[in-house]
Amino acid sequence: MVCVLRLIQSSFFLIFASLLLAGCGGAPGTVGSDDLVAKISFVSATPDYLTLAGQGGVEQSVVSFKVTDQYGAALSGVGVTFELSDDVGGARLSTTRASTGFDGEVNTVVSSGTAPVALYVTATIDGTHIQSFSDEISISTSGFSASSFSLSVIVSDEVTGSSEPFDYYGNPYNPVTNGSLRIESAGELGGIEAELQMIVTDQFGHKVRDGAKVTIVSPMSGLVRPSACIVADGICQATWTSTSGSGYGIGDHVILLAYASGAESFDDVNGNNIFDEGEQFVDFHEAFADENFNGMYDLGEFFVDANSNGVFDAVGNGVWDGPCLTDSCAGQDSTIIWNTLVLELGACPDEGCSAN
C-alpha cells in the first residue's frame, strides 16, 4: 500500500512539473520540437550596404535574428545555424553557429569580398526546419564612377529641347557634346526654376552610398540650391533658378558643372573588378566650364583647382586614379570626376509675360 501511494505521488509530481514547464514556455534554452517555437524572426542588418573589401569603406554588417516561443516570449540558449546565400569574391560569415542570448537574439557578421553582389543570410534553429531570412545586403564600390556621372533636368512643361544644337566640351569621358535644354521664360524672368537630377552609380551600376555629395555650380547665370547635392538611394537632386539682370537673355546659353571625388572609368578586360596595369582608362584633367562653348579651356573660365597650384591643368596625371586593390598603385585613391549641362534661356510663351 505504501509503494502504491509513493508511485501515485511520483506520477503526480511528474505531471505537475511537465505542466509547469509547458506553462512557462518549456525548459530554458531547449527546443524539443517545432511546435514549441513560434518563430525565428529577422531583426536587422546594420548596415545593409557594404563596400568591396580593400576600398576603405564599411566592410562588415551585423545581422541579427530573434527566437521566440509560441507566446512571443524570448528563448535563450537556443542554437541557431547561419548560411550565406553567396560567397562570390570571398564574402563570408564570422560564425556559422551561435546561441541566443537572454533577449532571444543571436548575431553573425557578414564581411564583404572583392566582387559586387547582393546576398542574404539564412538562420535555422538547430534540430528543426524553422528558419528565417535576412533582408538583402548589397556589396559594391564605395564611390562615384566617371562613366556613370551625368547631370540632367527633370522633364516638365517648362523644359524643351533646343532647336539649334551646338558643340561644347562636356568632360574627358565625353568631350564633344551636342545640344542643350531650353528653360521657358528663363531669358526674361528671374525666379524660373528647373529641377536638376543626377542618377549616380559605381562602376558596377550599383547605387552610390547614401550621404555622398556632389557639388553643382552655375558660374555664368542662375542660382543652384543646394550647391552640395546629397545622394539618397542613388539619386541627387537640386534646383537651378534663373536670375534677372545677369546680362544673359533670350536665346543665350549657360553651362552648369557638377563634380565630386570618385574613380576614373576603365575597361575591366579580365573581369576581376580591379584595375590592372595595361587596361584602358579615361584620364581626367581638372574640371572646367566651357563658358564660351569653343571646346577648350580659356583663361577666366571657371575651373576646379584640384591640386591647388593656381593654374588650370589641361592634362591628367597619366595614371589611373581610383581605389587601390593591388599591392601597389601608381595613381591616387580618388580624383575629381565631373560632367556638364547646358541650358538655353527661353522666352516667355505668354503674351502678357513681363520681366521682373
Tens-level pLDDT at each residue, the chain (356 residues): 444 334 334 444 444 444 344 344 444 444 544 456 679 999 999 999 888 887 767 899 999 999 999 999 999 999 999 999 999 889 999 999 999 999 999 999 999 998 888 899 999 999 999 999 999 998 887 688 898 899 999 978 777 766 566 789 999 988 887 788 889 999 999 999 999 999 988 877 777 888 889 999 999 999 999 999 999 988 999 999 999 888 899 999 999 999 999 999 899 888 877 788 889 999 999 999 999 999 999 999 999 999 999 999 999 999 998 877 666 678 887 899 999 999 999 988 876 565 54
SS3 for the chain is: CHHHHHHHHHHHHHHHHHHHHHHCCCCCCCCCCHHHEEEEEEEEEECCEEECCCCCCCCEEEEEEEEEECCCCECCCCEEEEEECCCHHHCEECCCEEECCCCCEEEEEEECCCCCEEECEEEEECCCCCEEECCCEEEECCCEEHHHCCEEECCCCCEEECCCCCEEEEECCEEEEECCEEECCCCCCCCCEEEEEEECECCCCCECCCCCEEEEECCCCCEEECCEEECECCEEEEEEECCCCCCCCCCCEEEEEEEEEEECCECCCCCCCCCCCCCCECCCCCCECCCCCCCCCCCCCCECCCCCCCCCCCCCCCCCCCCCCCCCCCCCCCEEEEEEEEEEECCCCCCCCCCC
> What would the pLDDT profile of 282-308 be if each residue is shown by its tens digit?
999 999 999 999 999 999 999 999 999
92 strand-pairing partners: 111
Tell me how far apart the alpha carbons of residues 80 and 227 are, in angstroms, rounded to a whole number. 49
The grid coordinates of residue 128 equal 528543426
pTM above 0.85, yes or no: no
> What would the pLDDT profile of 168-221 be if each residue is shown by its tens digit?
999 998 888 778 888 999 999 999 999 999 998 887 777 788 888 999 999 999
Q: Which pLDDT does position 323 carry in this prediction?
A: 77
Q: Which pLDDT does position 326 carry in this prediction?
A: 67
The number of beta carbons lying within 10 Å of the beta carbon of residue 124 is: 18
